[in-house]
Amino acid sequence: MNAAARPLQLLDLDRRSLEGALAARGYQRFHAGQIFQWVYRRAVTDPAAMTDLPRELRQTLAAEAVVALPALASRDISVDGTEKFLFELDDRRRIESVFIPDTPAMTFCISTQVGCAMACAFCLTGRMGLVRQLTAGEIVGQVLALARHVDLAGKPFNVVFMGMGEPLHNYDETMTALRILTDAHGFAIGPRRITLSTVGLPPAIERLGREPIMPNIAVSLHAPTDALRAELVPIARKYGIADIIAVCKRLPLRKRSRITFEYVLLAGVNDRLQDARRLARLLGGLKSKVNLIPLNEAPGIPFRRPSDEAIDAFARTLADHGAVVSVRKSRGRDIRAACGQLIVEGSRKSAAQRLAVRM
């Protein structure tokens, strides 16, 4: 099969690219907006049903393009209403996405990689190593599939890039997905309704700050000193906390918006009140909030969740020292859908491979 015969993956294309693909086939560019509306707003994937398109274009699309949605392999529902979706991709690799209702918004948590190269010490996904990057279409496809399965097509919802993988380690595909998710002709999700969570890669955060679309940013800090952070987050050996704070200070922020710093609380490791005071000091002068995530324990993860009293004391100390604090309520723990619990393959990479992060 030659390259020209390979079908056009519609979900991989932001509107401008789709316009280019249409123009190359002799069609008017504005049809791209119509196609976006069918696919993303009405969840219609069969070109034959796109009734406002010229017949010839419908035929061309049917012959040359596909909307490849990830196939649903399984779906688990938690007692708290959270749902975990296991999706199978074209090459049979599997990823997970999570639907979290009523937080108070409806929220879709999506993955950007199969596995992850970051190998954070408390995260199950990190144990898989990086299996492969997801394409923009596979990222957007999760949102489309979730919207269909939970019946939210055309309705408002939030999206968090907090599933498997490090979104800024799959920068270009993640940005294409962001352009598609926010496009006014498609889902039209406002950037304020999207949160991208990153392990903290300063060059990529810097680049993100220059993009026309700025989602909310959450940075996984997890420790107030480089020495402790390096024990938990291997990439901390490359980028210091000071570099991360400096780049965050330069990020253009919308009015009233703050950068979130995530902090997984591990009993006896990073939950001392002295850690809270240091953390508050670090964030002084930055429009920020701290989101404490009490560890979701899992077999093979060598840490413990602190007691509720210890969590409260840590939160109170942070607040007393001027930080804005919230404690993340764990959702879907009974179905292993909570933060850090997503894992779908047994493959493990060597430590060297896991650390070979190309930026």
Which residues make up the interface to ligand SAH (CB under 6 A)? Answer: 118, 120, 122-123, 162, 166, 197-199, 220, 262, 264, 293, 295-296, 301, 339-340
CB of 12 to ligand SAH, least distance (A): 22
CB of 110 to ligand SAH, least distance (A): 11
CB of 128 to ligand SAH, least distance (A): 12
Closer residue to ligand SAH, CB minimum distance, 71 or 310:
310
Closer residue to ligand SAH, CB minimum distance, 236 or 339:
339
The token pair at 7 is 């079908």
HSE-CB at 221 with a 13 A cutoff on CA atoms is 29
CB of 23 to ligand SAH, least distance (A): 37
CB of 99 to ligand SAH, least distance (A): 16
Closer residue to ligand SAH, CB minimum distance, 123 or 208:
123
Distance CA 323, CA 276 (A): 10
| CA distances (Å), origin 216, targets 198, 200, 209, 229 | 11, 14, 11, 23
DSSP 102: -
170 and 41 in contact (C-beta within 8 Å)?
A: no
Closer residue to ligand SAH, CB minimum distance, 39 or 264:
264
Closer residue to ligand SAH, CB minimum distance, 216 or 220:
220
CB of 149 to ligand SAH, least distance (A): 22
Residue nearest to ligand SAH (CB): 340
What 3-state DSSP class applies to 196? Answer: strand
Is the C-alpha dihedral spanning 152, 156, 157, 161 positive or negative?
Answer: positive
Question: Active site residue: 120, 123, 248, 339, which one?
Answer: 339
Distance CA 170, CA 191 (A): 19
Distance CA 229, CA 99 (A): 30
Asked if omega into 104 is within 30° of 0 (cis), the reply is yes
The token pair at 138 is 């596979």
The token pair at 47 is 């070109």
Closer residue to ligand SAH, CB minimum distance, 137 or 165:
165
Question: Active site residue: 83, 96, 166, 262, which one?
Answer: 96
Sort 56 into a burial class: Cβ within 10 Å, 0-12 / 13-18 / 19+: exposed
CB of 269 to ligand SAH, least distance (A): 13
215 and 257 in contact (C-beta within 8 Å)?
A: no
Distance CA 223, CA 208 (A): 23
Point out which residues pair with 294 in neighbouring strands. 265
Q: Is 96 part of the annotated catalytic residue set?
A: yes
Q: Is 120 part of the annotated catalytic residue set?
A: no
203 and 235 in contact (C-beta within 8 Å)?
A: no
Closer residue to ligand SAH, CB minimum distance, 57 or 120:
120
**What residues act catalytically?**
96, 339
